[in-house]
Structure 1
């Protein structure tokens, strides 16, 4: 009789213990797979929302602008946005101007960030503008119409259609004031944006800053986030003749979001380790109890000529079968849980009144998973291997039994 058939019979000699261990391992694997897929889905949702409202999957800056935010580090757009848009797999290109300033109404004043955009390009990509009615979007790149954050409108005590003044510092150092009109109001759910956003046409913002035709950032949005490694070299090639320009991936351009995801995933890994440690302890306990209950039987087997290595192999075969069974059932359960989370997700709208904000990004309160099949298979094989590794101590204990002492065991 071979190892596997004998190991199979031995496993079911104590059905209750085997079923409990198998259930614990399968459910643990299911939880690890399902929650990894859910986290991956939430991270993708966060990145997708963040890059569209922020710096894009790939961003082009002059010098160290991404860290210093020095408004003097602008550069001539000179058709670069059009050349970037011609790259396959690029969904949109968003040239932007950023100028710190002061917004004043007849009643109040507040510090703001004047943001100059191309309205048509921004509307098709930026999630903050999806809530705007068509008539509320900026009509041109050079008009005096502005879109304001909801909190800023409230603090300035103005409303749609009212006029207000924005003052910024021009490149030469002198102050420039412009009379603008509230054309639309957005509520993003992010305190800093809702309280400081003033969005105007890019040409109007550049003229106010004394940098006509220049921008501070060009955000490149991709059709497929996984295409960044293929597109990045092409972006670098397009700016190779301008050594002062730098292309950065979103992980460097949006450090707050990247660090928030890393921190969250690190805590998730810690939880996974605890779950797998519990699985290991359960396997060791099951196999060790099995060895202790069969001490007399093992003594007889050793006495009739079986080698200690053969005895250890039998214990390890039992662990292998236990690991394979838990891998199959756990992956099936994990797939069912992932299917549910992909299709229906976890709806948090009953618990919160607004969108979720994390790492400076607003995302949908319905959390949905994605399929990460390679990772699911890797963790399944890891659990099976962990089960085999956990059998080493019980197998070693069985192999070290002295036949005479083992046969005396009751």
Structure 2
């Protein structure tokens, strides 16, 4: 049966080659462009979680919903315990305070962020371009990192002083004098126009919450480790019912929703491509059956069963699907390899950085390997090839030998 089916699909070489090329190209496009999108998503998530909430984050319950700065908590030794878990790359305690920055000329609304500079610098992409001479020197000092746009609006320069005013826990206004130590350039207008980073202890003292934090961001060495690290973090805080472990997609809904929307549009396009595959197989097999109408009549007349003919047509379609799947997956792998190593350089069309979902990512788009999805698409093609052959196979099985013989 296999040998006969293989010979039959090559009886009309041109049609078979066109069908194989169409299906294989569809598989190649779906796999390559999905892997490209997958790589871009991974890049965005990596940049977003390192500058933002982390892959997993410990908050006081309710903080994610309203960002109420009164919902602070004391970490104790939780940061050290979390850092000791397998798969954890960094643990970043942070304090967030809305406030006002004033220079001798201007004033602007800001978000004061208290950080641990030693922990943040190797991880946070916002701090990549800063050397030791432009970094915050202590947790309780008056050094500050200022967004580049905010620096211009306040008409400041590195080394100059300015005042930050926030409302502390008791409701009173607390002001501190800071000196511009370094300038942060993120490419995000809102961030560059509002962000000020200072030492963690200084921000905590200004808020009147000495020693407390708002966020404990957990950075993982691999995103998939969240399945193991998440339950481990839950065990660490099981006695502290006011705390909760939040994944990045809940802590950063703008980025998560942007990725979901983009991925949904891609699924629609991929569905159209797979529909084209189905139509191509139906057309090829139906034409093949019609061309062999008299031949099938003779086969039935000499004793073959209708089921045997249906199985033959299905086997032919299966071989077309398998051949196209192997060819398309090979080409898809080669295309992914190229996109992974070389990528698509958009720097000549756009600025130095791109913004998506509130996150900056590299304009050189690179693919990443999603083997599970590639295997899924390959299986879909084979299954669709079989399903598309059901109608031609049914038609072949309903041929009447006497009627077919009259056409000889």
Instruction: Please report how far the alpha carbon of residue 29 of structure 1 lies from its aligned counterpart in structure 2 after TM superposition.
Output: 0.6
The two structures have a TM-score, normalised by structure 2, of 0.98
| Aligned partner of residue 12 in structure 2, secondary structure | helix
1:9-408 to structure 2, matched below 5 A, reads: 9-408=7-406
Q: Distance in 1 between matches of 2:9 and 2:225?
A: 48
Q: Distance in 2 between matches of 1:282 and 1:65?
A: 54
Q: Distance in 2 between matches of 1:93 and 1:189?
A: 25
Q: Distance in 2 between matches of 1:409 and 1:68?
A: 78
| Aligned partner of residue 125 in structure 1, secondary structure | coil
Q: Deviations over 1:182-215 (max 9, x none)?
A: 1111110111110100110011111111111010
Instruction: Please report how far the alpha carbon of residue 403 of structure 1 lies from its aligned counterpart in structure 2 after TM superposition.
Output: 1.9
Q: Distance in 1 between matches of 2:137 and 2:76?
A: 22
- Which has the larger displacement, 31-40 or 118-127? 31-40
1:8 to 6, 9, 12: 6
- Which has the larger displacement, 71-80 or 115-124? 71-80
Q: Distance in 1 between matches of 2:11 and 2:231?
A: 61
Where does structure 1 lack aligned partners over 5 or more consecutive residues?
Answer: none
Q: Deviations over 1:207-264 (max 9, x none)?
A: 1111110100000111121111111111111112211111111121111111111111
Instruction: Please report how far the alpha carbon of residue 357 of structure 1 lies from its aligned counterpart in structure 2 after TM superposition.
Output: 1.1
Instruction: Please report how far the alpha carbon of residue 103 of structure 1 lies from its aligned counterpart in structure 2 after TM superposition.
Output: 0.9
Is the CA contact 1:51–1:57 (under 8 Å) kept in the aligned structure 2?
A: yes
Q: Deviations over 1:83-113 (max 9, x none)?
A: 2112222111100000000111122211110
Instruction: Please report how far the alpha carbon of residue 80 of structure 1 lies from its aligned counterpart in structure 2 after TM superposition.
Output: 2.0
| Aligned partner of residue 13 in structure 1, secondary structure | coil
Q: Distance in 2 between matches of 1:374 and 1:113?
A: 41
Is the CA contact 1:295–1:407 (under 8 Å) kept in the aligned structure 2?
A: no
Q: Distance in 2 between matches of 1:42 and 1:328?
A: 26
| Aligned partner of residue 129 in structure 2, secondary structure | coil
Instruction: Please report how far the alpha carbon of residue 406 of structure 1 lies from its aligned counterpart in structure 2 after TM superposition.
Output: 2.2
Q: Deviations over 1:257-316 (max 9, x none)?
A: 111111111111111111000000000001111111111212222222221111111111
Q: Distance in 2 between matches of 1:327 and 1:198?
A: 53
Q: Deviations over 1:28-63 (max 9, x none)?
A: 111111112112211111111111000111101111
Q: Distance in 1 between matches of 2:313 and 2:235?
A: 60
Q: Distance in 1 between matches of 2:140 and 2:388?
A: 69
| Aligned partner of residue 74 in structure 1, secondary structure | coil
The two structures have a TM-score, normalised by structure 1, of 0.97
Instruction: Please report how far the alpha carbon of residue 409 of structure 1 lies from its aligned counterpart in structure 2 after TM superposition.
Output: 3.9
Q: Distance in 2 between matches of 1:321 and 1:242?
A: 60
Q: Distance in 2 between matches of 1:240 and 1:318?
A: 59
- Which has the larger displacement, 348-357 or 195-204? 348-357
Q: Distance in 1 between matches of 2:76 and 2:329?
A: 53
State the aligned residue count: 408
Instruction: Please report how far the alpha carbon of residue 374 of structure 1 lies from its aligned counterpart in structure 2 after TM superposition.
Output: 2.8
Instruction: Please report how far the alpha carbon of residue 339 of structure 1 lies from its aligned counterpart in structure 2 after TM superposition.
Output: 1.0
